[in-house]
Structure 1
Amino acid sequence: MAQPTTWDTHPEPLPVDSAPVPEYGSGSLADLLPTLAAGLGVPGMTAGITELTPADRNCVFLIDGLGWEQLRAHPEDAPFMTSLLGTSRGGTGRPITAGYPATTATSLASVGTGLPPGAHGLPGYTVRDPATGELMNQLRWQPWTAPAVWQPYPTVFQLAHEAGVHAAQVSSPAFENTPLTKVALSGGTFVGQLSGEDRMDIAAEQLAAADRALVYTYYSEVDGSGHRFGVDSDTWRGQLAHVDRLVQRLAEQLPPRSALYVTADHGMIDVPFDEEHRIDFDEDWELRAGVALLGGEGRARHVYALPGAQDDVLACWREVLGEQFWVASREEAVAAGWFGPRVDARVRDRIGDVVAAARDDVLLIASEREPRESAMVGNHGSMTPAEQLVPLLEVRP
């Protein structure tokens, strides 16, 4: 009797509609700045997060890589932020969703434009540029393409500035002129400060500089330590403790009639270093068959098929990975709302012919193509709670 083939032995793939789609329109990162700007009277803005009370001066402090689940798991390392989970300081901390994929370039664009990924057009860590056929890294902006063509919508900061609101970003000087900053976070005044402490002090000054203000500040090192050492390492815990003190420093300087909102761009999950948890695309002939380009990242892949091979690639990826990943065609992912309620025509072909989002603690690495990314301990990108849920903490003076 013939032995069953590999394809015969795979279980039923995860249904596409079983993926927990982000809460676009009511509880996602894309809804935060429009809600604050609507409270400031900026034309065209809608308050999607309806429980937030308007304030004259608003500051958003985004901590790169600090997910809701990771914060909740380490109360002893973040006592101040943990205190914001209740009502003792006038706010109620709760999670909101990052958006898909849960990755920095996508999330920062959602924060700054107030749009979901299907509209702003940064739908992954690396995606294919339909104009050139090349993979574009949207975090590093390589290869370079015209920022205003890639993302043509104004940012909320630009709209607020035009409406007479004092808009400011306080971040590392290295980010001032990057294409990602231009398309996602520009508008009003940029103030570059190297130290976290200086950023907190300047952010408080910018808040107090006008009767109506919208200020953004940022800290990246929690994410970096998670990628290198994992989200339960001593190094990561040390960064969490440090940023907790920064939040408290800023909170204690808030001027009257202001509100501070602490959030993040994504959470993170540690993935073990073994063949069971790290599937190597570069060593798997089945997964490579018919694939022209592999985009995205280990837990949120965009797969671009050779002409005519789309159906075969989708079938193969479902058979091989379908128990551990939600695997969808481009059309299915768009219809399911993974990238938001709408996907602009210019964005559609940036999305993979096949989209694969990890459900389990697995990673689809590419050891030859992506050696640096494949060596990371902490990873993110998918729609699991550990990656999707980010804090929304509120402080008022």
Structure 2
Amino acid sequence: MTNAAPSGAWPVPLDPADAPVPRYGEASLADLMPTLAAGLGVPDLAATLPLEPVDRACVFLIDGLGWEQLREHPDEAPFLNAHAAAGSPGPLTAGFPSTTATSLASVGTGLPPGAHGLPGYAVRNPATGALMNQLRWQPHTDPHLWQPHPTVFRLAAAAGVHTCQVSAPDFAHTPLTKIALSGGTFHGRLSGEDRMDLAARQLGAADRALVYTYYSEVDGKGHRFGVDSDAWRGQLMYADRLAQRLAEQLPPRSALYVTADHGMTDIPFTPEARFDFDEDWELSAGVALLGGEGRARHVYAVPGAASDVLAVWRDVLGEQAWVASRDEAIDLGWFGPVEQRVYERLGDVIVAAADDIAIVATRTEPKESMLAGMHGTLTPREQLVPLIEVRS
């Protein structure tokens, strides 16, 4: 994306009102589980996606597999691409920010980020004034105070639907699992093949079933080596085989839905593409805390400095990112409806990269700053995720 001004004219900053807004309530990740559960007869949930009800539904979430990256690699993912081309529902929007903790909470609760309250990789805890990493859950806070809404899995289990999650054993007792992906029974399995086989068996264990399973390494290799690296393509090939393995074991009256939590963009290792907050006196002036991640930042100003920080960040980044105040981002619908308890978790300034840039922090975030592939913003490459349906 470019924002070139006419010759001789001043550069024109991007208007936050022009940023693509996630399709909450219409075609977002938050709409998937409520639609499936409503089709299974779970009360008080709305079926907002155009999916035919099914007796047994399985969601396979492949971390980091964006819609555009999938469609660009038909040879590496022949099974998924064949079903995508054959009339599957098509892409959903992840939600903002398009990042794992936020998206998994939307999947599990059926709520947009402004309601479930995990609006980014790291956000300020208003009770302590410190940043809280919502993926690692550090520093620890009570998960159920932080996210009090019941998961769709819990509602389904209470309605008599056989419900379970099949994932890595390490995730069994994490706070993120408790508040986003709990309800029914958790089954830990190390290998992808074991997860697919167990998910299929669990799907056939009852007349009505809702099963969730997960694979992470497409995202892992994308972060480390970049999208379209040999390592990333190898993981895409493996994930495609896992999806086919699960689909071939579907019991009768079942549907498999393959989706993801976000896409990914490779960021060049150049000063022009990586703005270093820790070394940039303009960006750091008046800032008390830098939250979020490279492609989607929550900027928390010192008291009284919010308007000045907004003006400076727009001046520095406004041609390459959508830079909005907290209230502007809320009014534009970036987070969906925002509950009062979530309001102060959001930055005074919200920054969503439009070009292939990142705001890194090489001293305070050394590992994150060295990632090759990143995600989090509102661009289609990071927002659009697959929704691929396979029915038995």
TM range (shorter): over 0.9
In 1, Cα distance between equivalents of 2:30 and 2:60: 15
In 1, Cα distance between equivalents of 2:98 and 2:85: 26
In 2, Cα distance between equivalents of 1:127 and 1:10: 34
Q: 1:372 corresponds to which letter in structure 2? A: K
Secondary structure at 1:328 match in 2: strand
In 2, Cα distance between equivalents of 1:123 and 1:93: 26
What residue number does 2:80 align with? 81
In 2, are the aligned partners of 1:326 and 1:356 still within 8 Å (CA)? yes
In 2, Cα distance between equivalents of 1:48 and 1:174: 33
Q: 2:26 corresponds to which letter in structure 1? A: S
In 1, Cα distance between equivalents of 2:344 and 2:331: 14
Is 1:183 aligned with 2:179?
Answer: yes
**Counterpart among 298, 323, 327 of residue 323 in structure 2:** 327
What residue number does 2:158 align with? 162
Q: 1:179 corresponds to which letter in structure 2? A: P
In 2, Cα distance between equivalents of 1:48 and 1:30: 10
Secondary structure at 1:60 match in 2: strand
Secondary structure at 1:167 match in 2: strand
Q: 1:377 corresponds to which letter in structure 2? A: A
Per-residue deviation, residues 263-306 of structure 1 (Å, max 9, x unmatched): 00000000100011111111110000000000000000000000
In 2, Cα distance between equivalents of 1:327 and 1:61: 34
What residue number does 2:353 align with? 358
In 2, Cα distance between equivalents of 1:48 and 1:93: 13
> Post-superposition shift, 1:93?
4.5
Per-residue deviation, residues 308-353 of structure 1 (Å, max 9, x unmatched): 000000010011100101000000000000001x100000000000
What residue number does 2:149 align with? 153
The two structures have a TM-score, normalised by structure 2, of 0.97
Aligned length in residues? 384
What residue number does 1:31 align with? 31
Q: 1:83 corresponds to which letter in structure 2? A: A
In 2, are the aligned partners of 1:114 and 1:155 still within 8 Å (CA)? yes
What residue number does 1:378 align with? 373
In 2, Cα distance between equivalents of 1:215 and 1:92: 19
Secondary structure at 1:32 match in 2: helix
Secondary structure at 1:297 match in 2: coil
In 2, are the aligned partners of 1:263 and 1:391 still within 8 Å (CA)? yes
Q: 1:14 corresponds to which letter in structure 2? A: L
In 1, Cα distance between equivalents of 2:237 and 2:10: 44
After the TM superposition, which segments of 4 or more aligned residues of structure 1 sit over 6 Å from their partners?
none
The two structures have a TM-score, normalised by structure 1, of 0.96
What residue number does 2:293 align with? 297
In 2, Cα distance between equivalents of 1:17 and 1:274: 29
Secondary structure at 1:223 match in 2: helix
Secondary structure at 2:387 match in 1: strand
In 2, Cα distance between equivalents of 1:242 and 1:186: 27
In 2, are the aligned partners of 1:65 and 1:265 still within 8 Å (CA)? yes
Secondary structure at 2:319 match in 1: coil
> Post-superposition shift, 1:12?
2.6
- Alignment of structure 1 residues 93-132 onto 2, 5 Å: 93-132=89-128
In 2, Cα distance between equivalents of 1:200 and 1:316: 50
In 2, Cα distance between equivalents of 1:279 and 1:329: 20
In 1, Cα distance between equivalents of 2:84 and 2:125: 41
**Counterpart among 189, 211, 218 of residue 222 in structure 1:** 218
Query: For the aligned residues, what is the CA RMSD?
Result: 0.8
> Post-superposition shift, 1:92?
1.6
In 2, are the aligned partners of 1:325 and 1:357 still within 8 Å (CA)? yes
What residue number does 1:43 align with? 43
Q: 1:346 corresponds to which letter in structure 2? A: R
Q: 1:115 corresponds to which letter in structure 2? A: L
Gaps of 5+ in 2: 1-8
What residue number does 2:11 align with? 11
In 1, Cα distance between equivalents of 2:89 and 2:357: 30
Gaps of 5+ in 1: 1-8
Secondary structure at 1:296 match in 2: coil
Is 1:234 aligned with 2:230?
Answer: yes
In 2, Cα distance between equivalents of 1:228 and 1:10: 38
Q: 2:328 corresponds to which letter in structure 1? A: E
> Post-superposition shift, 1:218?
0.1
In 2, Cα distance between equivalents of 1:44 and 1:110: 17
In 2, Cα distance between equivalents of 1:12 and 1:59: 47
> Post-superposition shift, 1:86?
2.5
Q: 1:345 corresponds to which letter in structure 2? A: Q
In 1, Cα distance between equivalents of 2:10 and 2:194: 55
In 1, Cα distance between equivalents of 2:11 and 2:280: 19
> Post-superposition shift, 1:57?
0.2
In 1, Cα distance between equivalents of 2:14 and 2:230: 36
In 2, Cα distance between equivalents of 1:42 and 1:79: 35
Percent identity, aligned pairs only, is 72
What residue number does 1:60 align with? 59
Q: 1:77 corresponds to which letter in structure 2? A: E
